[in-house]
Structure 1
Amino acid sequence: MTGQTTATPGPAPHRATAPADRYGGVHVVTGEPGCGRTWFLERAADSFAAGPVVRLRADPARTAVPGGGLRALLRALGDTTGRAPVAGSGRVALSATLSAVSRPLLVCVDDAHLWDPVSRAALGDAARHLCRTATAARLLLTVPGHRPPAPEFGGLPVTRVDPLTPPEAAALLDEVTGGDLDAGVRDEIVDAAEGNPALLLALVRRLSSAQVRGDRPPPRPLPGADVLTGLAGGYLAGLPSGRRDLLLTVAAAARDDEDAGLDPGLVLRAVRHLGHDSAVPLPDLLTSADDGIRFHSELLRATVYATAPDGRRRAAHLALARELAQGDPRAVLHRAWAGAAGGTELEAAAGDLTSRRLRCAAYTRAAELSDDGPRRAERYTAAAEQALLGGRSHHALRLLDAARSGAAPAGARGRAALLRGTTVLHDGPVDEAQASLLLATSLLAARSPADAGTAALAACDAAWSAGDPAGCLAALERCGEVAGHASQGGPRTDYRLGLRALLEARFEEAAVRLRRVARDPDGSGDPEDILRAAAAALMLGDLAEARRAGARALAAARTLDSVAAVPRAREYLAYAELRAGRHALARTHAEEGLRAAHRAGQRNTAAHQHAVLALAASIEGEPETVAGHVAAALGTARRHGLAQVATLAEWAAARADLGRGRPQEAADRLGPLVRPGARRGHFALWMLAVPCYVEAAVSAGQPEGARTVVEDFARWAAFGADPQAPAQLLRCRALLAPPDRADALYRQALDLHETAGGDFERARTELLHGKWLRRRRRLREARDRLGAALVGFERCGARAWAEQTRGELRANGAAASGPRTMAPADLSGLTPQQLRIARRVAEGATNREVALTLSVSTRTVDYHLRRVFAALGVRSRLELARLVERAEKTGAHP
């Protein structure tokens, strides 16, 4: 393969599998060395079924021959299409030949930057011509992303091959090792490779059988200079010493903080200390922008640093230390990397560093310089804390393993146990996390009661995730024991006592305590404390406060550079929006949270996000999407004991079945989840699935099993933690009631929906009521109710449920396949009150404004407006406005 591009088998480095038609199907595919540009091209070619494919790789032998690449491409086009190239000069001939193609054709040119200038110019001209012209030909080119693109390809649309996400990287390693790779070794390789497929494969191929099994540690450093040289050393060959030292200085300055842009003046001044003139030209491997100077490719940065002689590396660090401002803590860190500063000096400076990565590096280096075992353990623990807060869970665990090598006092061991338990709580088996956190509680109780209380509350969180109410109560009891009388009162105490009261079914006390936590105006700015406020609000069903607290936690996490808190803040926001019926917004938060959880190495948090996405998709009617997220959520839940995630995922799968008209499957899945017994779902969540189960069981002709759980659900609804529960309870009772009571119960449920809000739940009640009315031949009433349900489902994007409603409407004798063009005379069927409301709504008035104008209640307006929508067959205020406008213009109105 030319150009040192590395093809990568296995999971796709880029989500796209075929070229898009945008820009006429022209794309310049780029990415850093080893990212899989060639693989991307091969995947696109293999998946292109619309017509023939022309594949061409740049041949270095032709680069010295002007027009060699162009002639090779024209010959390949002729061979593939069976037509001679259009006559004319080379540049004109290529554009004309591609424009003349009459059927779909894909042209793939790999490593186009290696072509000679004449061929590159012709290819660039042809690509721009295709962008402007409607043609059947499509063009993909690959160029490296570690330096600016050739000017001949400037202005063309670019598709960048992104690094693999951590799950994709892990899947690739499992594939190439047959699943034999030890999980800890796999995590370390995933972290080290940072999503580069070629580096992943190179690292795993270095391992011996014992290292693959985890019986021996992998080679250090990971990756080493030999691996990096093999992958990217060719890009550095032939550079003069001045440019090499400039690259080394930038690499040294960015060590352990590669995301930071560097001051070009600082770098150039430091290069002078290495014996070079400050006018050393900037190599094209670097980019200079407003935010500073940096490498185009992190792989090349690591290669430059790892392959430099030790003496030259130390000299670059010392040069940077000399040029940094007096008192800048980075100077101490650079001197420590050069071996010119001790651990005590470095530890003192670490807290003043602005980046958590740099603080972690400083504490780590200080630990490496320590002769004293306990001091070394404390420094490794401090480094692990910074790694954890910075969203590097696996790195934090490795630092905690290093801390074990020193004989640390009980306080330091307690701190390490707290960090380990916190890390595993979000990325490991939760029973293991609970044990570590309870150990931390015991070790810290006498020395640091506040930290011991934090550990005990986190142990309660672990038990909650595992669905263990007894474990939650035991952890809360332990928290109360270590807190002492001095710390009684305040949000943390209210949270502990409120949660305990909730678990012991003392609902009134729980509500008072938790409400104070949720609405604490003087709350801490710590993201963890704000997240507890969000949790309290969710327990109370105060969704507006939960959203506010989640947003505050997200802002605080970003301000404090607490990367680890970002995915969990998104998790709480997603749950709050989901409970409020704002499914699209819940999906947005969950998608962002999922990406953040993967970056932070939080697989348990990612599983929560998958569960939210499954629930959202179950409403939107996307069975394949539901199945994918359910499988991802349950995969982690079963490995790590996440009963909370498992319950939500099973509920999502059942709700998707119910939405698709498969009640028996839904009832089979939900029955064990909601009925008493060993398989009942999470103690705080199973009741949320009861309304779905009752509907599924009744629809499947099995109402007997639903009656008991409805009475359990009534106790939950009475607590007031879910604004939808009272209306859902009446709907469940209506489903199980005799005919002489069901109608009244449905109507009472709809009245409660007025105050609870939420289009989806109201529409479900309207759908069930409409079905009930239709089966009793009350067709006009059924039409009104089903029409209102259809509007509600379409408003919230519940496509499968809307289709189910259309089926009921068709069975009822009404056409409901889509919006229809209404004749103005259709307004004549409205009552005078409905006509007045329709006209005012068409003028843009809100329901409240209409109510004030007509001196009626908002509920009355809402009722009449639903009947107007149903009678006219419109789905939105805009359609209603158009129909009224046509009637006014033609005079065909009452």
Structure 2
Amino acid sequence: MTARHVLLLTAAAYASDPDGPWVDGGLVLRAAARAGLGPSALDAAERAGLERSPDGRLRLPGRRAVYEAAHPARRRAAHRLLAEAALGERLRPAGLLHRALAAPYPDSALGTELAAAARLPGPSHGERATALAHAAGLAADPEVRAGRFVAAADQARLAGRPHRARELLGRIDELTPTDAVRGAAALVRGLLALRDGPMADARASLLLAARLCPGERALDARLAAAEAAWALGDALAYQEAVAGQLSGAATARAFGLGMAAALDDRYAAGRVTLRRVVADAAGAGAPDALLRAGAAALVAGDVEAACRLGSRALAAARALDARPELPRALELLAYGELRAGRHARARTHAEEGLRAARAAGQRNVLAHQHAILALVASLDSDADTVARHAAAAQDIAARHGLVQAATLAQWALARADLARGRAAEAAARLGPLVRPGPRQGHFAVRMLAVPCFVEAAVSAGDLGAARAAVAEFNVWADRGYDPQAGALLARCQALLSAGDPVRADARFTEALARHERAGGDFERARTAELHGEWLRRARRPARARVLLRDALVAFERCGASVWAVRTAAELRATGDAPSHPEAPGRLSELTPQQLRIAHCVADGATNREVASRLSVSPRTVDHHLRNVFAQLGVRSRVELARLVDRAEATRAL
């Protein structure tokens, strides 16, 4: 019997936060002691399935079944013991909740006391949501009940439980709430849709909230509506959301006004304002303030500050148990590291971001993380991996209106095409996104993709489209939004100067010098490779080899194996001889099919392309390629390409 009492007390303790994984072990033990149960009862309960953590928390699998199997009188007795054992201010809401659950009849006064206690510091968001929802049920006044349900929904949102938040919001539909409560409900609905829902719906709810809510809540709603407009790729709607006088915190107001200015002809003033927001974030500790400052840093062109702020936002979200902000912090970090050219770090944060976004039910953030992973995969993975992440991003983007995520995904697919020599396909993907018109890409991303488009268009022979894109890119680069824009502009100009060897060489040289100042291994390596390709075609192989070797080392250093394979092929075309031959005879140990696959991969083909070329399935290619790697003792496609290159060079001697 003693074990059953402890199990019931533990199951009843979950009433404070039904979706929480653990309960306060001290509270349960104090309640057990009041019932005259000693340590042996806890030991018996553990043998019956109760779990105890090193810090004293308790977990009970199957707790709902334990609770529902008990007689109502025994449940009320358990809640009464827990109420008496809930000592101290932190447990005051839990104690009041257990008092209410122990009472045989509703108590409106107790509901008022419970609602007030739920707003005190100490309880978790999940505990506050439960207390407020129960207090709403105890309220006699429909307006009071509606206000408490909305407050409970907001706490459930902050606890990372969007389904529970939506369920609580549904409880106010029949209560005819006041405008103030309607505004608060619209704000919660809009914030939920912002992370997991159509962006147009989120924007409409948030603009309604901005009209109905007072003070800082109205500012929060307008900034969130602007964020929805950003995701939609609607710069005008962004400016409209923050137009006029904004009342509320000075830094938040400055952020909204600075972003709006940066999107129109007042970009210089906007950048100054946004940099002030970044500077003001030095003393910030709240995740939302740090995320806002990180976004300001990205728009102002300070990528390193954005990464630092993203790291601080991530730490703050973890420390404060701010679950809805955790996926957003990882998104900011992943995107910042991507912009900085640190692709391995971007992948690490984006992969963690995928898990966090799934756990929090934030599909919109999930789409952005998939888009970032697609861009990273376009450096070091086969085309199938890029396509898988891009498709996942585009599936959500198409249903929820996420223009930014869709643009990033298309850019990733185009970059994968370009790495494999499919310039016409890459230009066709990016053309509509970088040119003005109804199908253009996201206003904050399309200029970043222009250098990729220019390279593809020049290779495909569409010089007119490339020149038009460079003309607009030149204007954008002058605004200082991207520290690498100057180097990339010079590279684009070099590609367009093929008919003027002196100008082309000078522009490539200028681009490399600018890269040295701006940083970013990948883009510098891309410029060195393109310069080397141009020099080889201009019959200057000695200089070409120097640049191509430099690019190859840089690609290997930053993990861009797909581009390293392409560069190795260019290097072979210059007649570069291996400096440290490595047992090329081992290739003779391969089967004829394995040898054909090895040569195709060394030429830069993807698994799917090899399969098509040899009329086999991609799975067969993958199987043979793993055996080739194992038999030759290589770990990557780059190493395999080098081995094949050395074998061919040896046979040529």
Shared fold, TM over 0.5: yes
Answer yes or no: is the 8 Å Cα contact 1:538–1:546 preserved in 2. Answer: yes
Partner of 2:233: 467
Structure 2 residue 113 is the aligned partner of structure 1 residue 350 = no
- Relative distance call for 1:274 and 1:699 in structure 2 (3 A) is same
Counterpart in the other structure of 1:758: 520
**Identity fraction in percent:** 52
Aligned-pair CA distance for 1:263: 5.5
Rounded to whole Å, the distance in 2 between the matches of 1:521 and 1:425 is 24
Give, in whole Å, the separation in 2 of the partners of 1:735 and 1:371. Answer: 74
1:679-718 → structure 2 map (5 Å cutoff): 679-718=439-478
| Alpha-carbon spacing, 1:507–1:564, altered in 2? closer, same or farther (3 Å) | same
Confirm or deny: 8 A CA contact 2:374 2:387 kept in the other structure.
yes
Q: Which residue of 1 aligns with 2:218?
A: 452
Cα separation, partners in 2 of 1:736 and 1:412, compared to 1, 3 Å: same
> CA–CA distance in 1 between the matches of 2:395 and 2:229?
19
Superposition pairs for residues 260-659 of structure 1, below 5 Å?
261-262=22-23, 264=25, 266-271=27-32, 279-280=40-41, 281-284=44-47, 285-295=49-59, 297=61, 300-325=62-87, 327=89, 328-329=91-92, 330-339=94-103, 342-352=110-120, 353-444=122-213, 448-477=214-243, 480-481=244-245, 483=247, 490-520=250-280, 523-659=283-419
What is the CA–CA distance in structure 2 between the aligned matches of 1:492 and 1:265, rounded to whole Å?
Answer: 41
Distance 1:753-1:346 versus aligned 2 partners, 3 A rule: same
The 3-state SS of whatever aligns with 2:220 is: helix
1:773 and 2:542 matched: no
CA distance in 2, matches of 1:277, 1:294: 16
Task: Report the alpha carbon displacement of residue 348 of structure 1 after superposing the two structures with TM.
Answer: 1.6
Question: 1:747 — aligned with what?
Answer: 509
Distance in 1 (CA, whole Å) between partners of 2:39 and 2:300 is: 64
Match of 2:610 in 1: none
What does 1:801-840 correspond to in 2, within 5 Å?
801-815=563-577, 820=581
- Change in CA separation of 1:677 and 1:269 when aligned onto 2, cut-off 3 Å: closer
Task: Give CA-to-partner distance per residue, 1:257-308, whole Å, 9 cap, x none.
Answer: 56565555643442355576663223331123322242363xx123222333
Looking at structure 1, the residues matched to 368 and 124 of structure 2 have their Cα atoms a distance apart, in angstroms, of 29
- The aligned runs of 1:176-191 (5 Å cut-off) are none
Amino acid across the alignment from 1:739 = D
Aligned to 2:588: none
State the Cα distance separating 1:773 from its structure 2 match. Answer: 0.6
On the 8 A contact 1:809/1:815 being kept in 2, the answer is no
Distance 2:119 2:232 in 1: 36
Q: Which runs of 5+ in 1 are unaligned?
A: 1-240, 823-894
Distance in 2 (alpha carbons) for counterparts of 1:323 and 1:457: 44
Q: Residue 650 of structure 2 aligns with which residue?
A: none
Partner letter of residue 410 of structure 1? D
Q: Secondary structure at the match of 2:192?
A: helix
Change (3 A) 1:821 1:757: farther
Question: Take 1:501 and 1:324, find their aligned partners in 2: how far apart are those partners?
Answer: 53
Amino acid corresponding to residue 254 of structure 2 in structure 1? D
SS in 2 for 1:686: coil
Q: 2: CA distance between counterparts of 1:376 and 1:323?
A: 28
1:291-326 C-alpha deviation (Å, 9 max, x unpaired): 2242363xx123222333322222211111122225
Aligned equivalents of 1:754, 1:245: Cα separation in 2: 70
Please give the alpha-carbon distance, in whole angstroms, between the structure 2 residues aligned to 1:426 and 1:269.
41
**Whole-angstrom CA distance in 2 between matches of 1:821 and 1:326:** 72
Maintained 8 Å contact 1:734/1:745:
yes
Shift >6 Å, 4+ stretches: none
Residues 430-457 of structure 1: per-residue CA shift (max 9 Å, x gap)? 100111111111112xxx2221111111
User: In the alignment, residue 800 of structure 1 is paired with which amino acid?
Assistant: V
Consecutive unaligned residues of structure 2, counting only runs of 5 or more, are 584-653
- For the 8 Å contact 1:749–1:765, the answer to whether it is kept is yes
What is the CA–CA distance in structure 2 between the aligned matches of 1:350 and 1:814, rounded to whole Å?
73
Deviations 1:659-718 (A, max 9, x none): 122212211111111122211101121111111111111122222221101101111111
Higher relative contact order (CA 8 A, sep 6+): 2
Based on CA coordinates, which of the two structures has the bigger radius of gyration? Answer: 1
CA distance in 1, matches of 2:431, 2:542: 35
TM-score, normalisation: structure 1: 0.62
Work out the CA distance in 2 between the residues paired with 1:412 and 1:429: 23
CA offset at residue 524 of structure 1?
3.9
Report which of the two has the higher share of helix. Answer: 2
* Corresponding residue of 1:782: 544
CA distance in 1 between counterparts of 2:417 and 2:355 reads 28
